[in-house]
Amino acid sequence: MAQPDTARLLIACDDQPGIVAAVAGALAEHGANIISLDQHSTDAAGGRFFQRTVIHLDGLAAKRPALEASISAVAERFDMEWSLHDASRRKRVAIFVSKYDHCLLELLWRTQRGELDIDVTMVVSNHPDLADSVRAFGVPFVHIPAADKAAMEQRQLDLLRGNVDLVVLARYMQILSDSFIESLGAPVINIHHSFLPAFIGANPYARAKERGVKLIGATAHYATADLDEGPIIEQDVTRVTHAESAAELQRRGADVERFVLARAVKWHAEDRVIVHGRSTVIL
Amino acid sequence: MAQPDTARLLIACDDQPGIVAAVAGALAEHGANIISLDQHSTDAAGGRFFQRTVIHLDGLAAKRPALEASISAVAERFDMEWSLHDASRRKRVAIFVSKYDHCLLELLWRTQRGELDIDVTMVVSNHPDLADSVRAFGVPFVHIPAADKAAMEQRQLDLLRGNVDLVVLARYMQILSDSFIESLGAPVINIHHSFLPAFIGANPYARAKERGVKLIGATAHYATADLDEGPIIEQDVTRVTHAESAAELQRRGADVERFVLARAVKWHAEDRVIVHGRSTVIL
Amino acid sequence: MAQPDTARLLIACDDQPGIVAAVAGALAEHGANIISLDQHSTDAAGGRFFQRTVIHLDGLAAKRPALEASISAVAERFDMEWSLHDASRRKRVAIFVSKYDHCLLELLWRTQRGELDIDVTMVVSNHPDLADSVRAFGVPFVHIPAADKAAMEQRQLDLLRGNVDLVVLARYMQILSDSFIESLGAPVINIHHSFLPAFIGANPYARAKERGVKLIGATAHYATADLDEGPIIEQDVTRVTHAESAAELQRRGADVERFVLARAVKWHAEDRVIVHGRSTVIL
Amino acid sequence: MAQPDTARLLIACDDQPGIVAAVAGALAEHGANIISLDQHSTDAAGGRFFQRTVIHLDGLAAKRPALEASISAVAERFDMEWSLHDASRRKRVAIFVSKYDHCLLELLWRTQRGELDIDVTMVVSNHPDLADSVRAFGVPFVHIPAADKAAMEQRQLDLLRGNVDLVVLARYMQILSDSFIESLGAPVINIHHSFLPAFIGANPYARAKERGVKLIGATAHYATADLDEGPIIEQDVTRVTHAESAAELQRRGADVERFVLARAVKWHAEDRVIVHGRSTVIL
């Protein structure tokens, strides 16, 4: 899946006339071909503008400095945030897990199969249970027991800092401290086992059963200091009936969790997700 | 759709051996044929048991007293709540509405088409706007302006008591008082324009947009003294993206509301819904 | 919904570097602001390229000739098909219907509600049954009985030619002749009551029941000389069970038909649908 | 999941009054408690009747002969087909596979996790590629190369006959001969990678792309002598767009295949599926 000489340009700025033409012009100037272009404006008048452009440019590595200089000039003119991502460089991902294996295995299997264009550099767990399952995929498994929280997080940070581009919490049953998220220097994607904002917090399946809902769901979101309040990347639901117990809801929900998390990680890996306040734009 | 000589028997009791056989025996004794039988037990051991049985019995009206006596004997033995509903007698329904017409028209059109086996005996509104649309279906429209709440509810109760078997709130923008619900003597079904328990209360579409959810939904539930907390009958959702404004979410959600409410009213009309605590069993 | 000074530019050409920049440049040159831009390339290398661009330009009417000249120059350079649609000019639509009212009413109601940005200029039917329902919306109803097919089609063509931009077959039970479609000079959208290509032809619900499928669906497509083979615009399905009869499948399917057809007409009205061979690109 | 002293009784006969009461009476006579009872009648008048009853009876093994005698007497009276399945005895399953691993791994993983109450006694493949993946689950892998078809099938039959209760074709790319299916003496479930009856035969994803459908699907069905024509157990679909290539449809469809096949095998394992002509009743 790695695509040589291909890059993804993400931009965000206040909406104003001429953005698309200016960016397309800067790219054309260097001979870059636009493979796809998606944009979104939050408002017909006076909103925020977002654009993802995938380009192909023979000899990208050598031409990149000059290309970036041109983009930078356009960005200055429009007061634009921007980033240029090399599509041939896979993101390095650490997966955090506790004892449930369904989300973890889904990610490992899709990566092995070539559906997720990421490098899983390590799996970190507060329990030893899943070591064999992980190592069967040729992925390092690091067991850091949940003793003293500060000490545990320090050991995790020592492992991760500089080594990963993304952390995925694949049903990791520990709450990350604010300072951990701040110190990490990489985004964190979490899977929550409910259709947020319904059933924020613990035991969502039991509470869904108690409330008698007719659909259960899962939500993948960026983890922030506010628990379960981070920007939502993807959600899905499945229909249930009164005949299913809380334990059955949990099994049914596990299937939704697997797919929702896999889609969220895929979109992040392909630089499709732009955070906008408390929500996301998927381009 | 009216089915002569057909009745629906609903029962609820603590689960225990022999219920199905005892009920089926009592029915067979009178020559009643079981057309369908659905049951649910909340727990493999020691839960609550629910059953809906549709029977056909030639000359039902004349044989009903004897049949009820037999059922009553079984019910006493198992400490059973039960009710027997004549399938040839349509429920009399009043629809409450304010200015939005989408849920109202869906119900009127499905009733006209024979899909909802109910009699809409009147539409009550705090606004005059929808009078013509309603009367085009040959249904009385009663305008009771929202002046003094107690006076308004008294006028509504005067109209309704003894005359209806069900009240449907089809996007009625007034909150019913507890005493209204208690005095009414008939169940009330409400449509809430969110996937409860997410976005309880006002302006759910604006809040869904603000929270950045990827699915929006609607919930039909029995109205109780606790606003938006009554037993859920039906829910559904539809997928949305960042590109849709709050106004577009409202339009998209209106389609979900129409279908969710229509299904809930249909199931209630067919005596399929049994309330169990805060949830429902749909048989 | 009519948007003044707004236009939609559709283009199609062989994929090649520089298209987006050239078009954006031509638009910027005249001061047009790009409100949204969506494109699709059928293949990473050497495919067909499609783009829909929505622009806003103060005083569009006066500036249109100059703008078109610039677009035309770009189009010549890239061997491009293109069309520019004024968003303030609603498409004139004739709806053809027989006796089923569900698709017709859905379109009329959504148009009245402002959800479909079209003008329904007439409803044409081979039966008189739905005259009152249609006229209640203030729309002319024309009854052309199905006697001699050639004569009937000639009367229809006399009514339609030059007067409509689109014909919608909303469960119209007559087959259009090839010459009718050719003579009409406007596209025709049909709703087929199955998930094509399953159950092509007559009686799809009965055949779905007989085959025991677990989902039933509907398909909106452009009508072509090959019956049920035209480019698909939209499809959807709903889950069914063994417990539902063919008549119930038909009722359940009617709900899918209503929504699928409404979406297809909406997308066509917004110039979002581009035909590509036997399929469509929805931008 | 194995449930001691629990059995599932399946019956099928022409619909007639008194069936439910007679069966419930026979069960009650032996002290069997009805845990759940689901029934279906193909027609309000004069159809075929099906019932699945789950019972609990302490000391089932010892009481089974007497219980069967009572059921047999009822069955004779109503000209009933019936079977009684011990819920504590897992079905023995052989999975056939070629090179695609997604359906196979889904079944093995769900079995390991306790979600599928089956014993996978062997995996049979015409390719050696998946041997390691299978053996990691502790399941025997038997490689029978596809040389001479008759010889290959004879070797398969020698392995299977008497040893399995079900064969699952988890994307097995060989067509079974009619004589193989007849000689096997066990049902065969196949997963077809399209929403049947659309795209019967080879290469459904490429044909779905070519036809421009907006949803792709998968179908699990019992294999019969008529290829792709056997009774459908389960189907599902997922939405796709013009932007996805045939290869992407195949990846997207693989996820539908996994879940559809898993549900079909689960329902069969729980004795929920009754074949009725070319269709199935799921109780």
Burial of C180 (0-12, 13-18, 19+ CB in 10 A): buried
Q: What element of type H or E holds C110?
A: helix C102-112
User: What average pLDDT does this structure show over B240-252?
Assistant: 95
| pLDDT number for residue A2 | 65
D172-206 burial string, b = 16+ CB within 10 Å, else e?
Answer: bebebeeebbeebebbbbbbbbbbbbbbbeeebbe
| Contact call for C21 and A18, based on CB within 8 A | no
The sheet with strand B33-41 has its strands ordered as B81-86, B6-14, B48-56, B33-41, D33-41, D48-56, D6-14, D81-86
* ipTM at complex level: 0.93
| B69: closest CA of chain C, how far (Å) | 32
Tokens 């009936």 sit at which residue?
A241
Quick one: closest CA in D to B21, which residue?
D24
Can you give the pLDDT at residue D232?
A: 98
The whole-number pLDDT of residue C147 equals 81
| DSSP H or E stretch at residue C265 | helix C246-269
Kindly give the pairing relationship between strand B188-192 and strand B215-222.
Answer: antiparallel
Separation in Å, CA C255 to CA A202, B169, B255, C68, C193: 38, 22, 11, 42, 10
| pLDDT tens-digit map of D193-221 | 999 999 998 999 999 999 999 999 999 99
Sign of CA dihedral B180, B182, B188, B190: positive
DSSP structure string for D112-136: HTTSS-EEEEEEEESSSTTHHHHHT
Q: What is the CA radius of gyration of chain A?
A: 21
Alpha helix segments (H runs only) across D190-240: 204-211
**Kind plus residue range of the DSSP H or E element containing D26:** helix D19-29
Residues of chain C in contact with residue A28, where contact means CB-CB under 8 angstroms, are 17-18, 21-22
Q: Measured between CA atoms, how close is A99 to chain D, in angstroms?
A: 12
Q: Which residues of B touch C113 (CB under 8 A)?
A: 101-102
- Each residue's pLDDT tens digit in chain A (283 positions)? 568 899 999 999 999 888 999 999 999 999 998 989 999 998 766 789 999 999 999 999 999 999 999 999 999 999 999 999 999 999 999 999 999 999 999 999 999 999 999 999 999 999 999 999 999 999 999 999 988 999 999 999 999 999 999 999 999 999 999 999 999 999 999 999 999 999 998 999 999 999 999 999 999 999 998 878 899 999 999 999 999 999 999 999 999 999 999 999 999 999 999 999 999 999 9
- Which of C5, C30, C33 has the highest number of chain A CBs within 10 A, making it the mutation to test binding with A? C33
Contact C113 B105 (CB under 8 A): no
- Report the sign of the C-alpha dihedral through residues D212, C55, A48, B210, in that order: negative
> In this structure, which amino acid lies at residue C9?
L
pLDDT band at D146 (very low <50, low <70, confident <90, very high): confident
What size, in residues, is chain D?
283
| CB atoms near residue D260 (< 10 Å) | 26
Residue D248: Cβ within 10 Å count: 14
* Res B101 pLDDT > 90: yes
**Nearest Cα residue in chain D from B55:** D17
Q: Which residue has the higher pLDDT, C146 or D124?
A: D124
- The chain B residues in contact with chain D (CB within 8 A) are 17-22, 24-25, 27-28, 31-39, 41, 44
Output the tens digit of pLDDT for each of chain C's 283 residues: 568 899 999 999 999 888 999 999 999 999 998 989 999 998 766 789 999 999 999 999 999 999 999 999 999 999 999 999 999 999 999 999 999 999 999 999 999 999 999 999 999 999 999 999 999 999 999 999 988 999 999 999 999 999 999 999 999 999 999 999 999 999 999 999 999 999 998 899 999 999 999 999 999 999 998 878 899 999 999 999 999 999 999 999 999 999 999 999 999 999 999 999 999 999 9
**Cross-chain CB nearest to B237 (options A199, A237, A245):** A237
Show Cβ contacts of residue B129 under 8 Å, excluding neighbours closer than 6 positions.
Answer: B99
Cβ(D188)–Cβ(D219) below 8 Å: no
Across the interface, whether the CB atoms of A105 and D109 are under 8 A apart is answered yes
Residues in chain C: 283
pLDDT of the residue at C44:
64
pLDDT of the residue at A18:
87
Q: What is the pLDDT of residue B45?
A: 66
B interface mutation test: which of C54, C238, C251 has the most B CBs within 10 A?
C251
- Give dist(CA D260, CA D168) in Å, integer: 13
Q: Are D250 and D205 in contact (CB under 8 A)?
A: yes
Show which residues on chain D lie within 8 Å of chain B, measured between beta carbons: 17-22, 24-25, 27-28, 31-41, 44
pLDDT at residue B227 is higher than 80: no
Q: Which domains does chain C have, with CATH numbers?
A: 6-86 (3.30.70.260), 91-282 (3.40.50.170)
Mean pLDDT of D108-117: 96
3-state secondary structure of D70: helix
pLDDT at D2: 65
How much is the mean pLDDT over chain B? 94
**Across C98-194, where does the E strand assignment appear?**
118-125, 141-143, 166-169, 188-192
Among candidates B17, B28, B44 on the partner chain, residue whose Cβ is nearest the Cβ of D21: B28
> How do residues B35-59 score in pLDDT, each as one tens digit?
899 999 987 667 899 999 999 999 9
CA gap D156, D176 in Å, rounded: 11
Q: What pLDDT does residue C226 have?
A: 83
Which chains touch A (3+ CB pairs under 8 A)? B, C, D
Distance to chain C for B24, nearest Cα, Å: 21
Counting Cα atoms < 13 Å in the Cβ hemisphere of C158 gives 8
Which pLDDT score is estimated for D173? Answer: 92
Residue C265, min C-alpha distance to chain B (Å): 16
Distance CA C82, CA C50 (A): 10
**Looking at residue C176, what is its pLDDT?**
93
Is there a contact between A167 and A124 (Cβ–Cβ < 8 Å)? no
What confidence tens digit (pLDDT) does each residue in D244-279 have?
999 999 999 999 999 999 999 999 999 999 999 999
Contact A244, B44 (CB under 8 A): no
Neighbours of chain B (3+ CB pairs under 8 A): A, C, D
Residues of chain A with C-beta less than 8 angstroms from the C-beta of B248: none
Instruction: Give the pLDDT confidence score for residue D271 in this predicted structure.
Output: 98
Q: What is the mean pLDDT of residues D66-95?
A: 97
Q: Quick one: closest CA in D to C38, which residue?
A: D243
The pLDDT tens digits of the residues spanning D237-250 come to 999 999 999 999 99
- Nearest to A186, CA basis, from A118, A127, A137, A257: A118
Cα angle, residue A109 at apex, residues A105 and A112 outer, rounded to 5°: 140
Residue D43 has pLDDT above 90, yes or no: no
Q: How confident is the model at residue B1 (pLDDT cuts 50, 70, 90)?
A: low
Question: In the complex, which subunits touch D with 3 or more CB pairs below 8 angstroms?
Answer: A, B, C
Contact B234, B256 (CB under 8 A): no
> Cβ–Cβ of C235/D217 closer than 8 Å?
no
B contact set with C (CB within 8 A): 101-102, 105, 109, 113, 115, 136, 251, 255, 259
Task: Please state the rounded mean pLDDT for residues B252-259.
Answer: 97
Peptide bond between residue A65 and the one before it cis (omega within 30 degrees of 0): no
> Residues B263, B282: contact at Cβ < 8 Å?
no
